[in-house]
Structure 1
């Protein structure tokens, strides 16, 4: 259930963040392997990139790669959060009846590493599709994929199964670091809130005055 809930939540967020991923990809590829001053600068900054992409390819082009992006979020975050929940329920992150921050870091790192490994093929295809554009604003190598399924078939046909995990080591390192910090902080904060109880008592006097008393347990 944690897999489904975590993946679904990440997919909802991905719909809104995917245009930013498209712009980020274009800016990163602009001028790739070329000396400064010898290539055309299509995108001056992020805001300009939004305008140029929408003008040249249509506003829907800002959602290029959305399908593999959502599959990536479903598998990466679903597996990551589901794995962490399983480790948490196994009692590994608890020590002496409280959440251990070091153990939470280890659990979060492991969960993130597994999630990134499984989701990496979708991320690679997503990036290749996001880079595709009309020739007048194209940057980087243009793969000409016609959708996610055809992109997978093309990669498998021309480069083999292992090519789907290109860049996986870097992706795993990134998600491992982020997940360890995020999930460890979340679990420790949640444990603190769960153990932080407040009792409230209200008393009224004959004259109509009111007194509020808070007791921290």
Structure 2
């Protein structure tokens, strides 16, 4: 006949493995998804504050009316265009001289416009090259940030998945673990709890180190 104390201990160990497994799995889920856990806690806190504020007396609101006038006036713009006068009745030499002066003026203005266009083109090429360099630098920086994010995600997964697996193992076969000889089930339960504590401390230290690191 089986010893009642052994049966009682096995039943207690079974329940211990179940509850320890559940707790370890929950903690492992929080470690593996810290951003989701943080968002869940913040959303819950916001909802609780909203529910509490419903029972409070709303504070009186004062509506302020701000009025003002703005006057804007545009001064008149006067454009004066000077050109060489053309008089059809002037002597031929005067008309030729006036035409030559007019063409010289047009040539100077054309050369000035062409120079301004070349300068504008050069400035736009330089601006375009600078934008291209900036775009490439930011693109490389984005690639580095994505790699760093993937590395951090893999590190978080590597830290949380063993804890989750331990919790699932303890909660999945508690009766079999309780039936192991030499009270191995107790060592497994406390060992799983120790793994959870170590992983949780590592996650806390990593979070503190990340918060102390200045943003790039």
TM-score computed with the length of structure 2 as normaliser: 0.25
More strand by share: 1
More helix by share: 2
TM-score computed with the length of structure 1 as normaliser: 0.25
The structure number with the bigger radius of gyration is 2
